[in-house]
Amino acid sequence: MGEGEFPLVLNYTKISQSDYLPLVRLMAVDMMNKPYESLKNFFTRLSSNDLNELMSLIERDNERAMENVLLMTEMLVQAEGLFSESFVQLCDHCDRMVTYLTIVSLHRKGLVDVCYENMSFGEEFLDKPVVKKKLI
């Protein structure tokens, strides 16, 4: 991707009819009908099966995983009314998405508490806590 290709324009119809993960295809359909989505809503609605599948793909670190995570990330970035303005920023957003997925996975295992209201791709949220040590 060259710098001239940013911000990315996503074709939700094409994504929904592709061979990406069912979660990514369904997200594309949802975005066509409801273009705004908070990360809090996304993560609280994300099924454990979809989360486990994403985490498994990420652990394998293959091209298929990264394509799906990249598309899902950019859809969520745009659902917040933002855009990845460069390849570097897209990579930063993907890194943050993988971190968020990991935190949610740890939360569902009962290991940490999550501050969903602080999950965002907005720069103003970079210093906000998104995970807290679970008090036992």
- The whole-number average pLDDT for the span 102-115 is 96
The predicted pLDDT at position 112 comes to: 96
Name the band, by pLDDT with cuts 50, 70 and 90, for residue 60: confident
Place 2 in a pLDDT band, splitting at 50, 70 and 90. very low
3-state secondary structure 4-49: HHCCCCCCHHHHHCCCCCHHHHHHHHHHHHCCCCCHHHHHHHCCHH
User: Is 51 in a helix, a strand, or coil?
Assistant: helix
Q: Mean pLDDT for the chain? A: 92
- Is beta strand 131-133 parallel, antiparallel or unpaired with respect to 112-114? antiparallel
pTM score, whole prediction: 0.90
Which phi and psi angles does 112 have, rounded to 5°?
-145, 165
